[in-house]
Chain A
Amino acid sequence: MIPATTKQNIQPKPRKYNNKFRLKNGLIGWAFISIATVMICLFYFYPMVQALILSFQSGAGTNLQFVGLDNYLRLFTDPAFIAALKNTVIYLIIQVPVMIIFALFISVLLNNKKLKLKGFFRTAIFLPCITSLVAYSVVFKYLFATDGIINKMLINVSLISEPIQWLTDPFWAKVTIIIAITWRWTGYNMIFYLSALQNVDHSIYEAAKIDGANAFQQFFKITIPMLKPIILFTSITSTIGTLQLFDEVMNITKGGPGNATITISQYIYNLSFKYTPDFGYAATVSYAIVIMIVVFSIIQFKVAGDKNA
């Protein structure tokens, strides 16, 4: 009502000052982010573009030549790459769901108001996440050795008569890797669920109880829907983590026996440092990972169908 006129009256005067101020303000802002921008361009985008260019070249060491799309076509006929991809997919479809269900389950248990020693259990389950990847891999390697403690334990309780070849049998080696990464990362995902659960209003549960919902119904009808964005987030990060899996496999089985546990990241390492280096083809394989991560993420967003996520 009143502003219409007053606005016109006041505005003309400070405009010049305002513009100047805005310019100065803007400049300061730009100056602040310019450093970060330049750094990101220099250390992030520039190497990415270089790697893309590199992925169209092939050759030993410095004798690189442009080969067009040959590297990308080679991916489809390369048994080692296909084996790595297959292993990664197996880890993905078995380990990620197992871990997420496990983490959900533990977090719901730990969120129980009546539980005692909550802090202790939370710390204990989260603790694996702060151990070094290499250190825990080495420990697992010894635990699962042919004469390791796991085999000794299983034999002593008469579950098995012969030691299981955890590390040298193609099937059991995969199982070992899956057990190892599940141990390492479950607590990490649990923390996300726990924090999300604490944001869920307790009155919802009370209302459900009054309406006669049992624990299962509460879990599936309230907890899961409330945690959906977090489940989506954790499954995306776990997927990406699995695609980049390297330390565990490198240290526990070295990818063996015979490519039975090799991952894409380890194959990149082999191409660059174990064999006569072909950095061009190695870059191609890394771009294959990039493409897959993008595709998986899109699928997960679509499946979850949530705009909030």
Chain B
Amino acid sequence: MKKLLALIMVSMLLLTACSSGASNSTEPEGGSDSNQITIWAWDPKFNIKAIELAKEAYASENPDLKVNVIENAQDDIVQKLNTSLSSGTTKGLPNIVLIEDYRAKSFLQAYPDMFQPLTGSFETEDFVQYKVEATSVDGENYGLPFDTGVTGLYVRTDYLTEAGFSIEDLQNIDWKEYIEIGKKVKEATGKRLLTIDPNELGILRTMIQSAGKWYVKEDGTTPDLANNEALKLSFEIYKELVDNDLMNFHSDWNQFLATFNGGEVATVTTGNWITPSIKAEASQSGKWAVVPHPSLPGMKSVNASNLGGASWYILDVPGKENAVDFLTKTFGSNVDLYQKLVTEIGVIGTYIPATEGEAYKTEDEFFGGQSIISDFSKWAEEIPQVNYGMHTYAIEDILIVAMQNYLGGQDLDKVLEDAQQQAETQIK
């Protein structure tokens, strides 16, 4: 009886082994056919549209390559990459994947040898420098820079006029001046200055990057919180905005849009990718303008920063040669494509030669005739480069708690000291 039982067991094990073995031998998606590549990206109105334009541009010269574009939510892409790569299988993974800049190094360093280096495949000098830094590890380029998250200060000119300010008063201001203006605007119009999701410290990231600082030191691994003057000042500014009741709180994206579309706030400080959402409220046409991002007062800081942005990465799976060719011939060198990206979607790339094109100089009636695209690309080149490292979101979660404690009345030095300690134990 036992023999039979054992036999059954063994045969079943073999069966399962065979079936899994069989599926393992199948080629990765897109690799089975040498003339086919697969691309993953999120946001059908932005990234997917961009890749479709690139596909068109590429197809006119290389009609043989079949490009499959698959849309996934960003969270899903992150999860799929993590689970597949950590199990050591590349089955089902695409050839090209879009990764957010803040997360890129986490993937590149956590899964070494899984990504295809691109060093030498494209001219890095042609791209905005902070972007090149964000996509490289140990001097090796892994990503082809895509959109920039260059920030600007979107302001309601009608509210400003009501408070007695003109647009010239807001050019190249620092955060202290910004707060002073905000107080007067609130007095005159009753509108708060800006809106923030307390669960996300994007505003802090833009503040410290404008001073060339980040949550970690240049090596990308040592937490830089306790003795980071830029961060300390940013915390103080954040608290001042809260204490003066200049900050409105929202808890998700839709509330965020509703706040400025409904005219509840006088300014929006975020990445340029918000432009389509601001323009969505057509009745506010002509009432908006974009001025340079505020700088940190009293230290080396520029009136330009970055929030978000992503780049294209190639996985080390069959078909990578085609993928490299596709990327370098489109996003890597095609000036015309970048013009289309601007006019049809509003994507501001980081390819410097493209900024000379006509599309970049278009004046936008919604913003009172301002050429916002060329302004943004000008600021993009000024963004200080920092090493984002692998742990942006882990450290940010620590800082969100620290911010709560600080707003609750604790001493700033102690709060940051605690955060530093916690980050050091968590990050290895």
Contacts and interface: CB of A to CB of B under 8 A. Distances in A.
A273 B75 CA distance: 8
B111 A61 contact: yes
Interface string A249-260: 000011111111
Interface stretch (A26-34, A186-194, A239-247, A300-308): A26-34
A259 B401 contact: yes
22 contacts: A26-B1, A27-B5, A30-B1, A34-B5, A34-B8, A38-B9, A60-B109, A60-B428, A61-B107, A61-B109, A78-B425, A79-B401, A80-B426, A141-B252, A254-B199, A256-B199, A257-B198, A258-B400, A273-B79, A274-B393, A275-B394, A277-B82
Interface stretch (A90-98, A118-126, A163-171): A163-171
The main secondary structure of chain B at its interface with chain A is: helix
Interface string B214-256: 0000000000000000000000000000000000011110010
Contacts of B404: 170, 257-258, 260
Interface string A146-170: 1100000000000000000101101
Contacts of B296: none
A259 B404 CA distance: 10
Nearest to A262: B397
A30 B86 CA distance: 37
B250 A273 contact: no
B88 interface: yes
Interface residues of B, number: 44
A218 interface: no
B393 A23 contact: no
A270 B252 CA distance: 18
Contact of B393 (A35, A58, A62, A275): A275
Interface string B71-106: 000010011001001101000000000000000001
Interface of A: 23, 26-27, 30-31, 34-35, 38, 42, 58-63, 74, 77-80, 83, 141, 145-147, 165, 167-168, 170, 253-260, 270, 272-277, 279
A267 B400 CA distance: 15
Given A146-B249, A170-B404, A273-B79, A78 B426 contact: yes
Contacts of B16: 42
Contacts of B111: 61-62
9 closest cross-chain pairs (CB), A and B? A61-B110, A256-B199, A258-B404, A275-B394, A276-B106, A60-B110, A258-B401, A167-B251, A276-B390
A256 B400 contact: yes
Contacts of B9: 34, 38
Contacts of A77: 425
A168 B401 contact: no
A146 B5 CA distance: 64
A61 B4 contact: no
B8 A60 contact: no
B144 interface: no
B97 to A, nearest CB: 15
B314 interface: no
A31 B403 CA distance: 61
A19 to B, nearest CB: 11
A277 B426 CA distance: 12
Given A61-B109, A259-B397, A270-B397, 4 more contacts: A34-B12, A145-B255, A275-B393, A277-B110
A29 B252 CA distance: 56
Contacts of A141: 251-252
Nearest to A63: B110
Contacts of B107: 61
B391 interface: yes
Contacts of B391: 275-276
A165 B109 contact: no
Contacts of B426: 78, 80
A276 B110 contact: yes
Contacts of A270: 397
A253 B107 CA distance: 27
A77 B422 CA distance: 9
A61 B84 CA distance: 11
Interface in B1-29: 1, 4-5, 8-9, 12-13, 16
Contact of A257 (B85, B255, B398, B400): B400
A62 B391 CA distance: 16
B321 to A, nearest CB: 25
Contact of A272 (B8, B82, B401): B82
B251 A259 contact: no
Nearest to A79: B422
A58 B428 CA distance: 9
